[in-house]
Structure 1
Amino acid sequence: MGSNPSSLKLHDFNSVNTIIASPDYPKNITLVDVREFSELQKSGKIPGAINVPFNSQPSAFKYDQATWEESFANVPKPALDQELVFYCAAGRRAKAAADVAAEAGYENLGVYTGSFTDWQNNKGKTEAV
């Protein structure tokens, strides 16, 4: 995959909704919400997503294990072969975060292009944080 934009798998509302409805979710795919925690507190998040805020910690996916655990105590660091689907409010930060993850060696990457705004517009399920 790498950081080439065309190598990112693009997701829409239906594909993300299918992911979270899977009996294997979240083992098979990790949704990564890259909004800041304060944004999640206001609107919630897609069920099962992990929060790795891009603006405040843009290099998070490059962190070594100890730094990751210090920064995200209750969030296991995804394995390099784990499929990750990034989203934010509108899609811009999600793409940037996916590019950083690619630079860190992650290869199975996707972006929910409409991100959380699209999720809300389509009345997708949310969970409070």
Structure 2
Amino acid sequence: MRLINVIVGVAAIVCVALLSPIISAATTANNELSADLSSAGKRSESTVLSSGAMATYEQVKDVPNHPEIYLIDVRNPEELTATGTIPASINIPLPSLESALQVEPEEFEQTYGRAKPAKDAKIIFTCRSGRRAQEAEKIAKAAEFTNLSVYHGSWLEWAEKEGLPQ
């Protein structure tokens, strides 16, 4: 009987250890969702400029009205030729992103037609489906950029909502 109690106790400890990170992540996600829902419907500059991990279609659509925001499309150039681009986006293919974020400001502007973003500039990453945009966010974080978002819907959502080919 004592052996069974020990086994049950060890099993309980293992379960708690395994589930704690999942519960913590779910709690964090729930808090973020609650914050997003509480501000739903409030379209203002503060909504567009708020920091966070996810950018919405509405925020991306409003980027042309906010020249201080960088919308970086990390798809390859041939993908852009085939489908089109999101207005106000600049193309820095994912394989080039790390080096692009490290070049001198003059070289960045000459290459991409826009001033190099400051480390605290609002940057939204987009791609075709959102996967490469997530990788881009990791690269930018590693380069010490701090105000980053990912447009998870990326081109597929944009094209659907805008009636464009995917």
Higher helix share: 2
Q: Is the TM-score greater than 0.5?
A: yes
Aligned counterpart, 2:150: 111
Aligned counterpart, 2:134: 95
Contact in 1 for aligned 2:109/2:115 (Cα 8 Å): no
For 1:80 and 1:9, the matched residues in 2 are separated by 16
For 1:44 and 1:52, the matched residues in 2 are separated by 15
Change (3 A) 1:108 1:52: same
- When normalised by structure 1's length, the TM-score is 0.75
Q: Which amino acid aligns with 1:94?
A: A
Aligned counterpart, 2:98: 59
Tell me: higher relative CO, structure 1 or 2? Use CA pairs within 8 A at least 6 residues apart.
Answer: 1
User: What is the aligned-residue RMSD (CA, Å)?
Assistant: 2.6
Equivalences, count = 115
Residue 17, structure 1, aligned to residue 56, structure 2? no
For 1:85 and 1:13, the matched residues in 2 are separated by 11
- When normalised by structure 2's length, the TM-score is 0.60
DSSP-derived class of the 1:76 partner: coil
Give ranges in structure 2 of 5+ residues lacking alignment: 1-28, 30-50
Q: CA deviation at 1:69?
A: 3.7
Higher strand share: 1
